[in-house]
Amino acid sequence: MLKLLGFFDDSGYSGEVAAGPLAAQAQASGEHDEAKIVEYLDVGHRLTYPMEAGVDVLTGEVHRHTSGCSPLVTDAMWVWRADFAHYLEAYHVPLPADFVARVRELRHQMPDLVGANFAPVFNEVLLGFGWTHEGPWDTESLLHPKPRTVLTRAEFVPKVRQERPAGAWGKAPRKPRRDKKHGF
């Protein structure tokens, strides 16, 4: 059975799946190699592709995983939501020691997902979350990790907070309307 990582009450998961409220787990700092662990989480293999958007459950602000925040992601041993990387990076939530040991053992490199090894647990995982999939996992497949496509938090925050130009995006500000009643 795959192990669950970072499913918080705040995201609507039940007691047996949820790891408790996020705010109660926030810490001032995380692992010394947290940035590399975040990259590892970002390049995990996607199991589902729901088209759901969400905001940070504590602040209500958009974050780098706002678009497509809830797909299930795996490394063939652990399962997490796509937005877990944001919560680790922003709130330094504690990680299970065996997860950290695995990531370090792999030198922070996402392993290939071997269909023959993963197929027996795939349907069990999806059914545990109440989701279905068309047909079983392909036992002949070998999925290589894709390159990281998500901005880091350090890249995302300044991009979002940049000042909006006057007027509509990409257009010059509108001229004031003439007041016909007063002749100007």
Poorest-confidence range of 2-11, 52-61, 92-101?
52-61
Q: How confident is the model at residue 167 (pLDDT cuts 50, 70, 90)?
A: very low
Of the two residues 168 and 117, the one the predictor is more confident about is 117
For the question of whether the overall pTM of this predicted structure is more than 0.85, the answer is no
Q: What ranges do the domains of the chain cover?
A: 3-149
Please state the rounded mean pLDDT for residues 13-22: 70
What is the model's pLDDT at position 83?
87
- Residue 107, pLDDT > 90, answer yes
- Residue 5, pLDDT > 70, answer yes
What is the model's pLDDT at position 165?
46
What is the model's pLDDT at position 148?
62
In terms of Cβ atoms closer than 10 Å to its own Cβ (0-12, 13-18, 19+), residue 83 is buried
Of the two residues 97 and 148, the one the predictor is more confident about is 97
Please state the rounded mean pLDDT for residues 160-184: 57
What is the model's pLDDT at position 174?
59
Most confident of 34-38, 56-60, 68-72, 179-183: 34-38
What is the model's pLDDT at position 164?
47
Give residue for tokens 């408790």. 20
Q: How far is CA 178 from CA 166, 174, 175, in A?
A: 19, 12, 9
Q: How confident is the model at residue 102 (pLDDT cuts 50, 70, 90)?
A: very high
- Residue 68, pLDDT > 50, answer yes
User: What's CA 118's distance to the chain center, in Å?
Assistant: 21
State how far the Cα of 19 lies from the Cα of 14, in Å rounded to an integer.
Answer: 9
Mean pLDDT of the chain: 76
Please state the rounded mean pLDDT for residues 48-71: 71
State how far the Cα of 161 lies from the Cα of 170, in Å rounded to an integer.
Answer: 17
Residue (of 99, 49, 50) closest to 75 by Cα position: 99
